[in-house]
Amino acid sequence: ENSTFDKDGRIKLTFDQFLYLIVKYYETSFNDRHWLSYYEHCHPCNIKYDYIIKLETIEHDLKMFFKNYLKSNERQDVIRRHNGRSNITDKLGEVTRLFSAIDPTIVKELLNIYEKDFMLFSYTWDSEGVGGCSLFDEKEVKCC
């Protein structure tokens, strides 16, 4: 599928073209800050965080934050489970479906680029091309 222009004259890329562009940016050292890994962009190991709250475990993380940091259970009422139709499993299935159509060489290069982010956020990508997210494990809460 070829690139096309949108109504404002900007190039509209397909998903695989977009991923190819990210890989080429890294190969040429032209690292657009929008596509930098979190590890490179935010330097997480240079900051001693008291808490790291992830969207995948936000309910648990906020409870622990309120309990330990605020020393109170009073704010527990702000934590509400989203009861929308989609969930993490649905989203991972969609990501897996999208990536199944991508050249495996590009996927491998992307995994190399974002490897440290995968470790930071406990994400996985197996040899079958299936993405995942590890559940919260208090023993593994560390940065580097």
3-state SS string for the chain: CCCEECCCCCEECCHHHHHHHHHHHHHCCCCCCCCCCHHHHHCHHHCCCCCCCCHHHHHHHHHHHHHHCCCCCHHHHHCCCCCCCCCHHHHHHHHHHHHHCCCHHHHHHHHHHCHHHHHHCCEEECCCCCEEECCCCHHHCCCC
Residue that wins the pLDDT comparison between 18 and 42 = 18
Residue 1 — pLDDT band, cuts 50, 70, 90?
Answer: very low
Question: How many Å separate Cα 56 from the centre of its chain?
Answer: 10
Confidence grade of residue 103 (pLDDT, cut at 50, 70, 90): very high
- The whole-number pLDDT of residue 73 equals 59
pLDDT at position 77 is: 53
Band of the pLDDT at 110, cuts 50, 70, 90?
Answer: very high
Give the best-scoring range by mean pLDDT among 11-20, 46-55, 65-74. Answer: 11-20
Q: What is the pLDDT of residues 26-68, one digit of tens each?
A: 888 776 788 888 888 887 778 887 777 877 777 788 888 888 8
Burial 10-24 (b: 16+ CB within 10 A, else e): eeeeeeeeebbebbe
The model's pTM is: 0.66
How far apart CA 39 and CA 115 sit, in angstroms, is: 9
Q: CB under 8 Å to 132, separation ≥6 — which residues?
A: 92, 123, 124, 125, 126
